[in-house]
Structure 1
């Protein structure tokens, strides 16, 4: 299928109310756009269920300890979003209430001595809590988990669109165990993601280190020679600006998480791990960018599975 659309669908999606801007990088969704987004979510959940993944649910807050464990503040300082509260005393809270009454003129809250030091940050990825809850665990056998959450990063679009968001939805499938299990599971999930990309009809590719190794017209080429590369990105094309955006990632952590959180296998070795993640707003936005905002004009093989 050749995607026929070449304009940014954002204007039409906002005009009909499917996409509602709340703030820079933050959007509400409803209508057909949300229907497609939910459909994709269900399909990725079904993929997790195919592997009998253990479903998990976590809060969207990380304790500072988790950020520190993976050196996130040093590696990604530009993406950090921290949370805090007013100091825990009556006088400070009363002053805070007066300073920020709705009748006062303000657009931002000053981070000053009236505020507590941050004990939490907003989760910048989905899989972190999965590893954190396995810390100091012994006898960890080959296991697959899945979890869905909102992700928060200090970034936003340069074109005021859904191509880059401060808040977005991701489902991860996480696999933990011995090296052979992790490599095999990752390969199987790559194959399954390839099949989904073909089924969705989205012009896309999987790329590692800016080196594309397959695309839609050759999606089942031999990729085992790349099995030791640690990170791939799932990229979808935006025809209106002729560039690709990441709609997901495939990560191989090797022993990193096992060593960081002291997760050990029954043999006493540090566990290997990996994960795949799919971001649903970008995925859906890519579909609308390629086929347009009018679902009635979509090819039947694209529209029918999505309920149109």
Structure 2
């Protein structure tokens, strides 16, 4: 089998949601965004892709190379430029200098790059994320999907208070929806295996996933300590030290998938359940 033969089936990698499922996904996003805003977050709007040089600051291509996707413009002077068998040849492309992010929170750190922040900074943002997977299937495993995040920057105490509060809210919301979730310690190798942070991560987990039936992670809470503060030179306004960060993530299509399964594929009924649950968990 050649490398091309082993490539994942892209027909299963991307979806176009119908109107009812779109309504449900947007309601989920409004709900999670409102949680952040009610906690004092301001919303920012990131681009769907970044220069490779920016993502490289976060060791994306060292720690997550298997997930990485990059983009390049066509080289119109190469004599090619027309796809064959659904693909372009490498010689048809210019240098791939654009990276497609696999997480939303990168936009928050790049937004605050080279700045000072208060001890209790909070932002929320949603973005398209992209992951190169070994296989794709259904709404729970897509090449392109949407992730809403609530990102805390500032003191270590602030970052921990934020993820503790939202972990409780995620659990309460899932209970109202009759979704059984398990909070599971997980790995997220932002830190090199030989670093002091990696050792700390083994001693004290820095990522917890909220998993539905079958081990499907639909949300997570993540502690980064001052990793992103150092990489983006984000410092505290109150003292000359790098900011700590944490984030709360919601995989919107995964929440959608779980709710559709729970309601027999009836998106309208699932939508009403989300609205009712949101009224109870504000």
Indicate the TM-score class for this superposition, using the shorter chain for normalisation.
Answer: 0.7 to 0.9
1:96 paired to 2:88: no
Gaps of at least 5 residues in structure 1 are 1-20, 211-227, 238-242
Show CA shifts across 1:107-144 (max 9, x none).
111112x4211111112110102101222223544210
1:109 paired to 2:83: no
Q: CA deviation at 1:194?
A: 1.6
Which structure would you say has the larger Rg? 1
Q: Secondary structure at the match of 1:37?
A: helix
Show CA shifts across 1:223-267 (max 9, x none).
xxxxx5310111111xxxxx1211111101111111121211120
Query: 1:74-223, aligned counterparts within 5 Å?
Result: 74-87=62-75, 91-92=77-78, 95-97=79-81, 99-100=82-83, 105-112=84-91, 114-138=92-116, 140-155=118-133, 157=135, 160-209=137-186
User: Runs (4+) of structure 1 moved beyond 6 Å?
Assistant: 298-301
d(CA) in 2 for partners of 1:180, 1:147: 22
d(CA) in 2 for partners of 1:49, 1:197: 20
d(CA) in 2 for partners of 1:143, 1:300: 32
| Equivalent residue pairs, number | 254
Structure-2 residue corresponding to 1:232: 208
d(CA) in 2 for partners of 1:124, 1:154: 9
d(CA) in 2 for partners of 1:83, 1:209: 30
> What is the TM-score when the length of structure 1 is the normalising length?
0.75
1:284 paired to 2:281: no
Alignment counterpart, residue 250 of structure 1, candidates 203, 221, 224: 221
Structure-2 residue corresponding to 1:11: none
1:31 paired to 2:19: yes
The alignment's C-alpha RMSD in Å is: 2.7
Structure-1 residue corresponding to 2:265: 293
Show CA shifts across 1:13-70 (max 9, x none).
xxxxxxxx98331001013222221211111011011112110001111111222111
Q: CA deviation at 1:205?
A: 1.6
Structure-1 residue corresponding to 2:41: 53
Structure-1 residue corresponding to 2:242: 270
d(CA) in 1 for partners of 2:33, 2:267: 24
d(CA) in 1 for partners of 2:19, 2:222: 33
Gaps of at least 5 residues in structure 2 are 1-8, 188-203, 278-282
Q: Do 1:201 and 1:302's aligned partners in 2 also have CA atoms closer than 8 Å? A: no
Q: Do 2:24 and 2:271's aligned partners in 1 also have CA atoms closer than 8 Å? A: no
d(CA) in 1 for partners of 2:105, 2:270: 35
d(CA) in 2 for partners of 1:275, 1:180: 13
Q: CA deviation at 1:83?
A: 0.3
